[in-house]
Amino acid sequence: MDLNQYIDHTLLAAGASAAEIEKLCHEAVKYKFYAVCVNSSRVKYAKKVFSNSEVKLAATIGFPLGGSSTESKIIEAGTAVRDGADEIDMVMNIGLFKDKNFEAVQAEIEAIKKEIGDNILKVIIETCYLSDEEIEIASRLSMNAGADFVKTSTGFGSRGASLNDVKIMKKVVGDKVKIKASGGIRDAETVRKYISLGVERIGTSSGIKIIS
């Protein structure tokens, strides 16, 4: 099993410098990771570093809290795609979700998917703030809204992914939507456990350690 092709090589720290982003991109090419994941303001720079690489470029939207307006998320997502992003990792509006305003949550996801067209959309539901039942509901909303992936975590919440989160998500989405696990995944054994549950992408800043 080639673990490198499951990995989104990630750098989302607030203080990540251009030099660090460049290093991330070069590492992704060297180790043949599936994608890199950066904050949206770094997409244009990362795309320049990549030029002719097969590595995909993912950008975070509404990150890490998910609480920005739908309008601002749409603009951020559209800009990221025009700047060269292949994939968008958006944070669901967790406050609206907790209000049980599920219609608005789904409408936001649909609007962002419409904005980015054929580009891949991953919806981060931030499982650390959700009950098991809420994880089910959020996964279903993401699926119904046309998301390509449902994703566990930002890595900036009170905890990252868990195997239980993924089991719940998989039960809901089956093979209709892919699953990305992220947050706190730092070794190959853990990655294999997630893959065995049906996870198709792993978000981690420990990619080199994992494949080594």
pTM, entire model:
0.97
Q: Write down the pLDDT at residue 52.
A: 79
Segments in the chain forming alpha helices (H):
18-30, 43-50, 70-82, 94-98, 102-116, 132-144, 163-173, 188-196, 207-211
Average pLDDT estimate for 65-91: 98
DSSP 152: -
Q: Which of 56, 113, 122, 151 is catalytic?
A: 151
Q: How many helices (H) and strands (E) does the chain have?
A: 9, 8
pLDDT tens by residue, 93-122 = 999 999 999 999 999 999 999 999 999 999
pLDDT tens by residue, 43-58 = 999 999 987 789 999 9
Residue 108 in tokens: 């936001």
Q: Write down the pLDDT at residue 51.
A: 77
Average pLDDT estimate for 60-81: 98
Contact by Cβ (8 Å): 200, 165: no
Average pLDDT estimate for 14-42: 97
To the query of whether residue 151 is one of the catalytic residues in this protein, the response is yes
Distance between CA atoms of residues 15 and 20, nearest Å: 10
Average pLDDT estimate for 32-40: 98
Q: Which of 89, 113, 122, 148 is catalytic?
A: 89
Q: Which of 73, 113, 122, 180 is catalytic?
A: 180
To the query of whether residue 180 is one of the catalytic residues in this protein, the response is yes
DSSP 145: T
Q: Does domain 39-45+58-199 have CATH number 3.60.150.10?
A: no
